[in-house]
Structure 1
Amino acid sequence: MGKTKRPEPESLNLPPVGVDSHAHLDLDDFDEDREAIIRRALDSGVSRIVNVFLGPDAYERGRGLFDAHPEISFIMGVHPNDADLLTDETVERMRVHFKADPRLKGVGEIGLDYYWERVPHEVQQDAFVRQINLARELSLPIIIHSRDANGDTVDILEAEGFRDYPLLWHCFGAGIGLAERLVANGWHISIPGPVTFRKNSDDVQAAVARIPFERLLLETDCPYLAPEPWRGKRNHPALSVFTARRVAQIKGRSLEDVWRMAGDNARRFFGL
């Protein structure tokens, strides 16, 4: 018996209203077929993509890749694993770019990462506070990266006065307790591909069931974290349709409803 052929994202026939709220299409993983990948997203119902630039160097190097694609907007932030590189000059470059480029829609992904332990926690925390305050100064949304650091991340945001601020928790992978705390603070939550995994995602699925529709977005975090049935392969924006399908099953709603509502939430959040 041969292996079952994986369904292609185009086969779900979704309308062009979806949004991939977090993609890394500037990375060299897409250098060979970036244009084809963008076309596949559009053909699969992804009408808008938010590309993440990991700092001003990446933005300056990669923004031109998308000159022909107005459907792609940007966010920019210094990742916590690079927090030791955040200087006054870096912050000023970011400030200049945010003021000059209307395609830059938010500050992120920023936050804390205690998994890799590449940068001392206090250095990460200082860089995090500097960047959330830059976002507040510029009245821009914040996009959070938090890995093995959820308590400290939320504590800092609350202490710095960011309750009810436009904030998106990227790549949500926790349980009901964190989801409820984020929702209580008035924040949004982005669901990635691992919600589709058969094992080790029960807590995430239980949390997704409780997240209000108006706070829920979809993302790929591509090229990472491809959903089933493409787990283990390179992720790309078109595959967000399979994440939407699993969320729809969890929520007991139609796939098209979830696709449209999550897209509408992303358009409102980023001002797309």
Structure 2
Amino acid sequence: MKIALFSDIHANLPALEACLKSIDEHNPDAVYCLGDLVGYNVWPNEVVNEIRRRRIPTIAGNYDQGIGLMNGDCGCAYKTDHDKDLGQQSIAFTDSIVKPDERRYLRTLPAHIRVEFQLNNDKLNLLLVHGSPRKINEYLFEDRDENSLLRIMEQADADIMCFGHTHKPYHRVLPTEPAGEAHYRHAINIGSVGKPKDNNPQGCYVLLTINADSSIANKDAIQVEFVRFDYDVETAAKAIEDSPLPNDFAEMLRRGY
């Protein structure tokens, strides 16, 4: 089974359209969205409605939760007062333009999606979260201590855990040997469609392949492909500059940060 997973569109409609076109070309068996449909750009309603039109199973991101609940907080960990001020401008603008029906949709998105496979007498659990299983806005960076990341996955009973939120893609294989038998877990950050932060302005999503002979005892049991795609960055950046949003967000798109 080939599964496409994408996340963190952040109201960037040109990026979403290019992402979905690329996904269509790969013809996956299933498609999932890991949240943060809105914020930082001018097309939150259009992004929500494209996801709904395609009936893509979607979980809530922290930004979706903040807009859905109208609590004025995106749950973002801004490092400086300047960044915090930019973030407040973003959530205030998004709150002002999101329509009632789209807001209701965001408010009712599920927190997690769990998919259980039964292969070769093994149970293989795929868990989809936005930040982490513990908290919607927890950042799981690539340099996370291995024991900490492994503990999070074990507590969530996740053999494959896919997540977003940091906007920085990676795949880590975490080996354990409970009862003397090898057990490999996979932590996969699927990157960002509409607001990359790894110094590459291209959007990113993941193609996850689970084979008929996949097993938790085989570290190569799954295949993870990070797909980078081009989109019209200038159109997305210019839309920001022509809106009340801070121009800083336009430069972030251009630089992939």
TM-score, scaled relative to structure 1: 0.41
Higher helix share: 1
Higher strand share: 2
TM-score, scaled relative to structure 2: 0.42
